[in-house]
Structure 1
Amino acid sequence: MSIQSPLLARPGAVEAAGADAGTAAHYGDPLREQRALARGEAVTDLSSRGVVTVSGPDRLSWLNTLSSQQVLSLAPGESTELLLLSVQGRIEHDAHVLDDGERAWLIVEGSEAADLAAWLESMKFMLRVEISDVSGDWAVVGSTAPVPAWADFLVWTDPWPRVGSGGHAYTETEDAAHPGYERPWYEYLIPRDGLEAAVDESGRSLAGAMAAEALRIAAWRPRLGAETDDKAIPHELDLIRTAVHLAKGCYKGQETIARVHNLGHPPRRLVFLQLDGSQHTLPAAGSPVKLGERAVGRVTSVAQHYEMGAVALALIKRSVAPDAQLVVEDEGELYAAAQELIVSPDAGAAVGRPAGLLRAPRPRS
């Protein structure tokens, strides 16, 4: 059950559904809120998210052995992203990770926190680590710009879309042209009992989950539970760039990560869709993406963007041509969909690839 945010009592608040339940979808004017959030003049209540802490002297070495990311030398205040995978390399958990020098903070989807904490507890063995699900005590608030009034709070800085050490870009887009750079993202950890006061002291207005989702989609940023399903592997979503270290030691799922990256191709690819907005409606997430009469994928996230109109992310078959004319179908309604490449159809099979092709761009400072 989701925790109800006290910010739902603010004027105009309309509760979100799905993964964001318990927070506001909007406060009466979604597009105005989205513009303010994009300009760094608003913050978004993400208190539906879960928070898990790992303390103890072995915490970083332990998380390093379990996850896709190199966190052994994570410095206090430094942010990263890690994945916990199945033996088949499928994404089971995606955590935004920050260490404060005494404990690692893992920000996850609200529905994942209890399961993640229980799984981590089962993997402790004799190591000096302590796991706590502190979702009831800590709220998460998002912003596209630092909030000076919150300088004393811990903040996770999204590495997206910078290619991290050991990471790799699965898109052919020039690094500097990636739309993710238009959406810096910060997630502040704030005590739940001080959430309202902190928002009031921030000097920022409130933007709902709809605003944050629209900016996320425009930045091509995958989200667990939206872009992922029980078959998703990191390569399909371009998550190798921020959440996987290709040269680290053994962890569950590593064989699949290495095999697809070096020898194969991901079976599906994430794509950005510009939808025909003439119907003045939006298709639902999960709607089939079709090439002619044949379903070739599904919409994973959809939103009304304040500049681009109706936009979506979708997972489609790798074999679909990048210039193919696609449509999205929702209960008999058809939406023309112009695709923009995120993950290249040629991504993967890095062994023997000519030097410079789909190489990892140099990480930005």
Structure 2
Amino acid sequence: MSGSPFLALDGAVPAEGIDEGVPGHYGNPIVEQRRLERGEAIVDVSDRGVLTVTGPDRLSWLHSMASQALDRLAPGASAEALFLDAAGHIEHDAHVVDDGETTWLVVEGSDAAPLAAFLDRMRFMLRVEVADRSAEFGVVAAASVAALDAALPASAPNGVPLDWTDPWSEPAPTAHRYAPDAGHPASEWHWIERIVPREQLSVAADAVRAGRVPVAGSLAAEALRIAAWRPRLASEVDEKTIPHELDWLRSAVDLGKGCYKGQETVAKVLNLGRPPRRLVLLHLDGSDTVLPARGDLVVGEKARPEPAEGEEPERRPVGRITSSAMHHELGPVALAVVKRAVPADLPLIVESHGIDVAAAQVEIVPADASAAVDVPRLPRLGVRK
């Protein structure tokens, strides 16, 4: 993929880390956040990958492997699907839209080739074709269709606009939510991804240059995502992650379907157990102007019953930072995955860049998240009363 034309805009500063290849900001991330939140600005997310699946069996085939019900996905409708391993761990995440002839998958750029290879291996004798179209198509995002339309027209190769609308803010009836809907910041999260031919990215950049639409960088988009408690494959997921830990049953898992790899774990943890870890939002002390990095250790202090004079409380690792940002209203915030047993009111410390950063947690997946099914205790065999 060639360099993004957005990087040639005035003030563009390249992003680092998971969003490398697009602008991180254009000089004022906080102002960019506000414009993006109001639905005025667009974001270059052309670092994302784009896959296509064609053929008459495409939707039923994807349905058989994914966590989401896709067999009856209507043209133009949006869905999110996870692909899990046999133990229920998340391997891939796809933003799915079908135009009646082709199913389009927007994925993390680093995951495009692995997911395409996995899907290609699973074709067998079915009438499907998988292609990595990342070199041909890019993605531009915004919080409103109006902002996208001001930048460039929607692409519709088969007469259906290729706009994916994030279902995070409006879960389907067949979804499950650990975090209650009341007061959930997802209600303020609006996100639309427009798939366009890569040569059209320069049209969007020209619209910004001409003053027809403002632009925001990836830092602004990440800050709003974190504040909305919205998980992302490139940041919140490791080799052990199951959907329950991130409250990802909310948007990416249809509990009305079965028979897909990892489904047994999804059902078992939901109905009989508890997520072994849980996602939290951390409000960070900004006194030292330190923003933690992904992977920084989160620790809790355990006071000894009878500490000796001058003895410091014992520190115990309880989790890791997955993403962080400076939010225009909340200040420094982060998402972290912590152990299930960590008390919700326990003050935490993030060890970052040799500095201790105090953190207060907000529950996303509650510490007392219980099983959805209450299984009665059975009497022990051989015991009579």
Separation in 1, partners of 2:292, 2:370: 31
Counterpart in the other structure of 1:341: 363
Separation in 2, partners of 1:177, 1:72: 33
- The aligned length equals 351
Separation in 1, partners of 2:329, 2:235: 23
Indicate conservation of the 8 Å contact 1:19/1:48, yes or no.
Answer: no
Indicate conservation of the 8 Å contact 2:290/2:357, yes or no.
Answer: no
Separation in 2, partners of 1:72, 1:124: 16
Separation in 2, partners of 1:258, 1:249: 9
Out of 209-218 and 187-196, give the one that drifted further: 187-196
Counterpart in the other structure of 2:166: 158
* 2:321 maps to 1:313: no
Residue 198 of structure 1 and its aligned partner are, at CA, apart by 2.9
Indicate conservation of the 8 Å contact 2:5/2:205, yes or no.
Answer: no
Counterpart in the other structure of 2:118: 119
Give the 3-state SS of the residue equivalent to 1:104 in structure 2: strand
Residue 353 of structure 1 and its aligned partner are, at CA, apart by 7.9
Counterpart in the other structure of 1:70: 69
Give the 3-state SS of the residue equivalent to 1:47 in structure 2: coil
Counterpart in the other structure of 1:280: 289
- Deviations 1:295-340 (CA, angstroms, capped at 9, x unpaired): 1000100000011110000000000011111111113201111100
Separation in 2, partners of 1:224, 1:136: 21
Indicate conservation of the 8 Å contact 2:154/2:163, yes or no.
Answer: no
Indicate conservation of the 8 Å contact 2:9/2:205, yes or no.
Answer: no
Q: Percent identity?
A: 56
Give the 3-state SS of the residue equivalent to 1:336 in structure 2: strand
Which consecutive aligned stretches of 4+ in structure 1 deviate over 2 angstroms post-superposition?
147-153, 198-203
Amino acid at match of 1:198: A
Counterpart in the other structure of 1:139: 138
Counterpart in the other structure of 2:18: 19
* 2:189 maps to 1:180: no
Amino acid at match of 1:333: I
Give the 3-state SS of the residue equivalent to 2:171 in structure 1: coil
Any stretches of 5+ residues in structure 1 without a counterpart? Answer: 355-365
* 2:107 maps to 1:108: yes
Superposition TM-score, scaled by structure 2 size: 0.88
2:176 to 158, 168, 173: 168
Indicate conservation of the 8 Å contact 1:161/1:241, yes or no.
Answer: no
Superposition TM-score, scaled by structure 1 size: 0.93
Indicate conservation of the 8 Å contact 1:262/1:350, yes or no.
Answer: yes
Residue 216 of structure 1 and its aligned partner are, at CA, apart by 0.3
* 2:350 maps to 1:328: yes
Residue 176 of structure 1 and its aligned partner are, at CA, apart by 4.1
- Deviations 1:4-55 (CA, angstroms, capped at 9, x unpaired): 2121111111111122111011111111111111111111100000000101
Any stretches of 5+ residues in structure 2 without a counterpart? Answer: 156-161, 302-314, 377-385
CA separation of 1:197 and 1:350: change in aligned 2, threshold 3 A: same
- Deviations 1:46-85 (CA, angstroms, capped at 9, x unpaired): 0000000101110000000011110111000000100000
Residue 134 of structure 1 and its aligned partner are, at CA, apart by 0.4
Give the 3-state SS of the residue equivalent to 2:187 in structure 1: helix
Residue 348 of structure 1 and its aligned partner are, at CA, apart by 4.4
Amino acid at match of 1:314: A
Separation in 2, partners of 1:101, 1:198: 26
Out of 228-237 and 25-34, give the one that drifted further: 25-34
Amino acid at match of 1:114: A
Structure number with larger C-alpha Rg: 2
RMSD: 1.5
Give the 3-state SS of the residue equivalent to 2:59 in structure 1: helix
